[in-house]
């Protein structure tokens, strides 16, 4: 597809979900600046972008560090000249346990992955997005934000990210920057390794009787970044095939 002249930044592009997001934006005509910890693991993302004829640049760095996040954003601007969308897709460790099990190191690592990375990348990029006339930021949150048994740290970090999303939407709306989040449930992907019994149970718990895929995540993320969502901001969209409905 021919370029539409827009540029998307995607973190966590070396994950299966990140690769699907890169490929979807490329398919829609975006040029993509992507980053992650492993260039080797990012090959599916880059090859998918190339297959759609999109220009893509990969940066091997860690956006949990402010200097790396700034280098990522500046590298994207140097390469493409503008930023229209950010997808904060950095993955956390999904640490299992109650507050009795969490170490200080666990806490710091999870908050860095879920919050510092979003803060650093968004803060570095917002002036460029605003200067270009506005755009969209999409954060990857989780249905765990409501509180999940045995996932105390993930519940806390995703609740904070969801609140941060809404605050950013309020703070930057007058710059025509929309900020939304996708609340993920378990996702079928090459990165996920669910035992057959667990997979069957999760499907049975879902209102739709199935689970979503990485491509479904990419579709939801792209919708928020597209002009079809031009009047949507501060939204928290559950994407879990209805698994979380039982908790309401």
pLDDT, tens only, 111-134: 999 999 999 999 999 999 999 999
**Which tokens in the block code for residue 168?**
């950013």
Within-domain flag for 201: yes
**CATH number of the domain bearing residue 99:** 3.40.50.720
Within-domain flag for 232: yes
Residue-level pLDDT at 2: 67
Within-domain flag for 217: yes
Within-domain flag for 102: yes
Mean pLDDT of 136-160: 90
* Best CA proximity match to 92, nearest among 104, 108, 109: 109
User: pTM of this prediction?
Assistant: 0.93
23-70 residue pLDDT tens: 999 999 999 999 999 888 888 888 888 888 889 999 999 999 999 999
Number of independent structural domains in the chain: 1
Residue-level pLDDT at 248: 44
Within-domain flag for 23: yes
What is the spatial distance between Cα 124 and Cα 72, in angstroms, rounded to a whole number? 9
Within-domain flag for 83: yes
The domain in which residue 76 lies consists of 7-247
What is the spatial distance between Cα 163 and Cα 222, in angstroms, rounded to a whole number? 21
Q: Around Cβ 112, how many Cβ atoms within 10 Å?
A: 19
Residue % of the chain over a pLDDT of 70: 96
Within-domain flag for 1: no
Q: Around Cβ 222, how many Cβ atoms within 10 Å?
A: 22
Within-domain flag for 2: no
Per-residue confidence band for 145, with pLDDT thresholds at 50, 70 and 90: confident
């Amino acid at each position: 597809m021919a370029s539409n002249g827009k540029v998307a930044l995607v973190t966590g592009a070396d994950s299966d979900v990140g690769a699907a997001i890169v490929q979807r934006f490329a398919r829609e005509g975006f040029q993509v600046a992507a980053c992650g910890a492993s260039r080797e693991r990012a090959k599916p993302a880059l090859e998918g972008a190339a297959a759609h004829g999109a220009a893509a640049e990969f940066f091997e760095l860690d956006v949990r560090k402010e200097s790396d996040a700034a280098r990522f954003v500046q590298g994207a601007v140097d390469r493409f000249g503008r930023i229209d969308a950010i997808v904060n897709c950095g993955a956390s460790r999904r640490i299992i346990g109650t507050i009795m099990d969490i170490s200080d190191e666990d806490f710091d690592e999870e908050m860095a992955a879920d919050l510092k990375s979003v803060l650093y990348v968004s803060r570095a990029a917002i002036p460029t997005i605003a200067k270009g006339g506005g755009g969209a930021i999409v954060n990857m949150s989780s249905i765990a934000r409501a509180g999940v048994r045995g996932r105390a740290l993930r519940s806390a970090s995703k609740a904070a990210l969801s609140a941060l999303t809404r605050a950013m939407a309020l703070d930057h709306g007058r710059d025509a920057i929309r900020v939304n989040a996708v609340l993920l449930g378990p996702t079928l992907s090459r990165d996920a390794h669910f035992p057959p019994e667990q997979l069957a149970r999760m499907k049975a718990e879902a209102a739709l009787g199935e689970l979503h895929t990485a491509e479904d995540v990419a579709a939801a993320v792209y919708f928020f970044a597209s002009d079809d969502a031009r009047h949507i901001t501060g939204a928290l969209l559950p994407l879990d095939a209805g698994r979380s409905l039982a908790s309401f």
